């Protein structure tokens, strides 16, 4: 396969942040008198910002507008990441290795300002040439829109892109966009084995991803 670009998910793939999202949203819901449920985090995985803020307002009964929920959660997340950068071991190095050979992007369910903050925090501004947030497309993951959009921003045919993902929603999003998909299963939030089985390469850790492994695994 002639790889045109490599597109990374962020939360759970490059950074160990899923539990931070879970804690921040749960804390806010409880503080404001909402009704947090055990399934709330799973329900919101992959949702775009308009989707999860609406969910918290309607389904969890948080007495704030969706915009107010969004602004408070984003502020708390950025403060947490600044105090304790959450990148997974070897993740930034993996991006840099890939960027030496391919254009690289990020397709994330995080808000745009969080993605930009994390790119700067990791010193990846030279490596990440395009990124997109699912709030910028009609629907969040597992809909393929965000991967198709980031491929377009990279000037690449989606069918010639490789996506690197960890979650069920993200893997489905990239597969349905027609991309070759590298699964890096998140051990804390294990993806559906049936979806992982559809992927083209499975690696245990993002630190193990190299251009040579990609070429070998995706060759005819």
104 and 174 co-located in one domain: yes
Whole-number pLDDT of residue 1: 67
Among 49, 67, 83, residue at a domain's last position: 83
Residue that terminates a domain, selected from 83, 103, 125: 83
DSSP 3-state of 185: coil
User: Do 153 and 211 fall into the same domain?
Assistant: yes
CATH of the domain at 141: 3.40.50.1000
pLDDT at 206: 98
- Residue 187: pLDDT over 70: yes
For the chain, how many structural domains are there in total? 2
Beta bridge partners of 130: 105
Last residue of a domain, one of 45, 68, 83: 83
Percent of the chain topping pLDDT 90: 86
More confident residue, 129 or 220: 129
Residues 6+ apart with CB under 8 A from 36: 26, 29, 30, 60
pLDDT digits (tens, 9 = 90+) for 166-177: 999 999 999 999
Higher pLDDT, 47 or 25: 25
| pLDDT at res. 115 | 97
Residues 204, 187: one domain? yes
Please indicate, yes or no, whether residues 195 and 142 belong to a single structural domain of this protein: yes
Residues 69 and 133 in one domain: no
Check pLDDT > 70 for residue 27: yes
92-126 pLDDT tens trace = 999 999 999 999 999 999 999 999 999 999 999 99
Same domain, 186 and 110: yes
What is the side-by-side order of every strand in the sheet holding 128-133?
128-133, 104-108, 5-8, 161-165, 180-183, 201-202
Full residue range of the structural domain in which residue 35 is found: 18-83
Residues 6+ apart with CB under 8 A from 146: 107, 108, 109, 132, 133, 134, 136, 137, 140, 173
| 90 and 76 within one domain | no
94 and 73 share one domain = no
pLDDT digits (tens, 9 = 90+) for 49-106: 999 999 999 999 999 999 999 999 999 999 999 999 999 999 999 999 999 999 999 9
């Amino acid at each position: 396969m002639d790889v045109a670009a490599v597109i990374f998910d962020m939360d759970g793939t490059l950074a160990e942040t899923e539990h931070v999202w879970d804690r921040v949203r749960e804390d806010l819901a409880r503080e404001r008198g909402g009704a947090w449920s055990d399934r709330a985090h799973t329900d919101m995985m992959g949702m775009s910002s308009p989707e999860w803020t609406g969910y918290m307002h309607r389904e969890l009964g948080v007495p704030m507008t969706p915009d107010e929920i969004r602004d408070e959660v984003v502020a708390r997340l950025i403060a947490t990441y600044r105090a304790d950068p959450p990148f997974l071991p070897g993740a930034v190095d993996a991006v840099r290795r890939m960027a030496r050979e391919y254009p690289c992007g990020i397709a994330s369910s995080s808000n745009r300002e969080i993605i930009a903050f994390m790119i700067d925090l990791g010193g990846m501004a030279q490596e990440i040439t395009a990124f997109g947030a699912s709030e910028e497309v009609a629907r969040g993951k597992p809909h393929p829109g965000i991967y198709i959009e980031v491929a377009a921003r990279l000037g690449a045919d989606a069918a010639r892109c490789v996506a690197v993902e960890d979650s069920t929603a993200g893997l489905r999003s990239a597969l349905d966009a027609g991309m070759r998909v590298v699964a890096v299963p998140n051990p804390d939030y294990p993806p559906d084995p049936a979806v992982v089985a559809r992927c083209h390469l499975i690696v245990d850790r993002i630190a193990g991803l190299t251009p040579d492994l990609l070429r070998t695994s995706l060759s005819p």
